[in-house]
Amino acid sequence: MVIGTEGLAYTGIGDGRILRVDLTSGAVETVLNTGGRPLGLCAGSDGSLLICDAHRGLLRWPGTGTEVDVLVDAIEGVPLNMASNVVQDPADGTIYFTASSRRWPLDQWMGDMLEHSGTGRLLRYSPDGTVDTLLDGLHFANGVAFAPDRASLIVAETGAYRLDRYWLRGPKAGTREVLIDNLPGFPDNIALGSDGLIWVTLVSPRNPLLDLLLPQPGLVRKLLWQLPDRLMPRPVRTAWVIAVDQDGTLVHDLQRDGAAYAMVTGVAEAHGTLVLGSLDEAALAVTRIPA
Domain boundaries, the chain: 2-288
pLDDT of residue 232: 64
* pLDDT tier at 32, thresholds 50, 70, 90: very high
pLDDT of residue 235: 77
Mean pLDDT computed over 130-148: 97
The whole-angstrom separation of Cα 26 and Cα 20 is 10
By three-state DSSP, how is residue 291 classified?
Answer: coil
* pLDDT tier at 116, thresholds 50, 70, 90: confident
Mean pLDDT computed over 84-106: 95
Residue 223 has pLDDT above 70, yes or no: no
Mean pLDDT computed over 203-220: 74
Mean pLDDT computed over 153-157: 98
Mean pLDDT computed over 177-192: 97
pLDDT of residue 215: 66
The whole-angstrom separation of Cα 49 and Cα 109 is 25
Residue 218 has pLDDT above 70, yes or no: no
The whole-angstrom separation of Cα 254 and Cα 271 is 17
> What is the distance of C-alpha 156 from the center of its chain?
7
Residue 219 vs residues 119, 139, 213, 222: alpha-carbon distances, Å: 17, 17, 11, 5
pLDDT of residue 228: 67
* pLDDT tier at 197, thresholds 50, 70, 90: very high
Picking from 224, 202, 23, the residue whose alpha carbon sits closest to that of residue 113 is: 224
DSSP labels, the chain: -EE-TTS-EEEE-TTSEEEEE-TTT--EEEEEE-SS-EEEEEE-TTS-EEEEETTTEEEEE-SSSS--EEEESEETTEEP--EEEEEE-TTT--EEEEE--SS--GGGHHHHHHH----EEEEEE-TTS-EEEEEEEESSEEEEEE-TTSSEEEEEEGGGTEEEEEE-SSTTTT-EEEEE-S-SEEEEEEEE-TTS-EEEEEEEEPPHHHHHHTTS-HHHHHHHTTS-GGGS--PPPEEEEEEE-TT--EEEEEEEESSSS--EEEEEEETTEEEEEESS-SS-EEEEPP-
DSSP bridge pairs for 285: 276
More confident call, 207 vs 85: 85
Mean pLDDT computed over 28-48: 96
Residue 225 has pLDDT above 80, yes or no: no
Residue 224 has pLDDT above 70, yes or no: no
Residue 110 has pLDDT above 80, yes or no: no
* pLDDT tier at 106, thresholds 50, 70, 90: confident
Mean pLDDT computed over 57-82: 96
In the chain, the percentage of residues whose pLDDT exceeds 90 is 82
Model's pTM, two decimal places? 0.93
The whole-angstrom separation of Cα 45 and Cα 111 is 37
Is the CA virtual torsion 201, 15, 44, 23 positive or negative?
negative
Instruction: Using CB atoms within 10 Å of the CB of residue 150, give its burial: 0 to 12 exposed, 13 to 18 middle, 19+ buried.
Output: middle
Tally of CB atoms within 10 A around 171: 6
pLDDT of residue 213: 67
CATH number of 2-288: 3.30.1050.10, 3.40.30.10, 2.40.160.20, 2.120.10.30? 2.120.10.30
Mean pLDDT of the chain: 92
* pLDDT tier at 273, thresholds 50, 70, 90: very high
The whole-angstrom separation of Cα 204 and Cα 276 is 14
* pLDDT tier at 233, thresholds 50, 70, 90: low
* pLDDT tier at 114, thresholds 50, 70, 90: confident
pLDDT of residue 139: 95
